[in-house]
Structures are given as structure tokens and as C-alpha cells.
Chains A and B, each alone.
Chain A
Amino acid sequence: NAGVMQNPRHLVRRRGQEARLRCSPMKGHSHVYWYRQLPEEGLKFMVYLQKENIIDESGMPKERFSAEFPKEGPSILRIQQVVRGDSAAYFCASSPPNGREEQYFGPGTRLTVT
């Protein structure tokens, strides 16, 4: 059973460009979480999604950031007009719909804004 997959693993964007990060949850998992880890800092929750629904986006910056988890396909974290402060590791986690298992994390996408 494949784990949580994230791509790309490394992404370089220039200031002002858009970054699109993808997360494919584990098979059978319908809950997806995004976390961000700034350099030398801890992990911070960003958003929690179920299929076609945003459940909790309390950790998302108010502007430029959006997330979706469509009925088909991976979850997407989108950052518009990136700035240097967006440089970080972005981790995705998934859990099954029965809510009885832990969150399983992917390997992360490292975004570098130049």
C-alpha cells in the first residue's frame, strides 16, 4: 500500500510566480491536511479538507493561498504571487474516513522562492 505521495519534492519559483503543490493521499483515505514548516521552525497546521469540502482553514494565510481536494485527483495547495517568505517545506497528511487512525505524512515539498 503506497504511502502519501507529494509532488514535486522540490520546487523553485521566482517572486510573483504561482506554486502548485500536489498531494495524493493513501488509498482509502478521504481526509487531507496541509502543514507548513518554515526554516528552523516547527510544523504549523494550514488546512484540513475532505473530498470537495474545506473543513478547517484556520491556519491558511488570508491572501494568496488556497487549497482544494476534488472528487477525483490529488489535493492541491496553490500559492499565488509567491514571496520569499513562502519558502518552506509543505507537508501533506491523510487519514481514513472512519477517524480511527492516525494521520500519515508525506515526504513534503520544499518550495524555494528566489
Chain B
Amino acid sequence: DAKTTQPTSMDCAEGRAANLPCNHSTISGNEYVYWYRQIHSQGPQYIIHGLKNNETNEMASLIITEDRKSSTLILPHATLRDTAVYYCIVRVAPFMNRDDKIIFGKGTRLHILP
């Protein structure tokens, strides 16, 4: 079973920042927080991951609380093309684990509104 809890769905206005929360209260010390998204009918797309420090890349920012029990994915300027299901996943980093299958939960269905 997935180790994370996410809201079922969220709306965000186009051009605004989309903030997607995730709870992972049972996260272990060697587990990272990963985010993927799945745009309708496409394969999942990796977004970002982090251990305990905040991370930023060209797609998004990841804010992890100090106790690591929750995190927020931020899409700074959401566009209609960001409408997708967003999955928050807790897992040991692939370079630390021989068996690195991804366990997907139900994710958050993000609707970007024009």
C-alpha cells in the first residue's frame, strides 16, 4: 500500500501557483519523497524528488517539512497543460535499493481552470 495521503482533487486558476500537499507521517530515514504526474492517457512523468532539503528544478519546487512528515509540490505558474493526476511517492532512492519498483497511490487530480 502507498505510504502517502493526498487530497483526491484540487482546482487552480491558470497562471497561479498550484500547491499540492502530501502527508507521509511514517516516512523512514532513508526514504525520499518523489513526485510523478500522469497527464490523461499518457505515461507517468517524473517531476522532482527530495530527502530533507527543499528542491527546485525547471518544472517545480518541493518543500519538505523539517520533521519530514509532509511535503508540498509547487507549480509556480500553472498552465492548462499541467492538468493531470499528481502522485506523491515515498521510496528508498534507486541507488540504495536493488528492487526499486514504484508503488503508486491514488494521487491528486489537479484541474487548471482557464
Could you give 22 example pairs across A and B, Cβ below 8 Å?
A4-B43, A35-B102, A42-B107, A43-B44, A43-B104, A45-B102, A59-B101, A91-B43, A91-B44, A93-B44, A93-B102, A98-B95, A101-B94, A102-B46, A102-B49, A102-B94, A103-B94, A105-B45, A106-B43, A107-B42, A108-B41, A108-B43
Q: For residue A56, which residues in chain B have a CB less than 8 angstroms away from its CB?
A: 99, 101
Q: Give the contacts of B69-114 with A (CB-CB under 8 A).
A: 94-95, 98-107
Which residues of A line the B interface, CB within 8 A?
4, 33, 35, 42-45, 48, 55-56, 59, 89, 91, 93, 95, 98-108
Q: Are the C-beta atoms of B106 and A42 separated by less than 8 Å?
A: yes
Q: Which residues of B contact A (CB under 8 A)?
A: 34, 38, 41-46, 49, 94-95, 98-107
Return the contact of B102 from the options A55, A98, A99, A103 (Cβ within 8 A).
A103
Q: A90–B105 Cα gap in the complex (Å)?
A: 17
| 15 new A-B contacts at CB < 8 Å, known A59-B101, A93-B102, A103-B100 | A33-B102, A35-B102, A42-B105, A43-B104, A45-B101, A91-B43, A93-B44, A95-B94, A98-B95, A99-B100, A103-B46, A105-B43, A105-B45, A107-B42, A108-B43
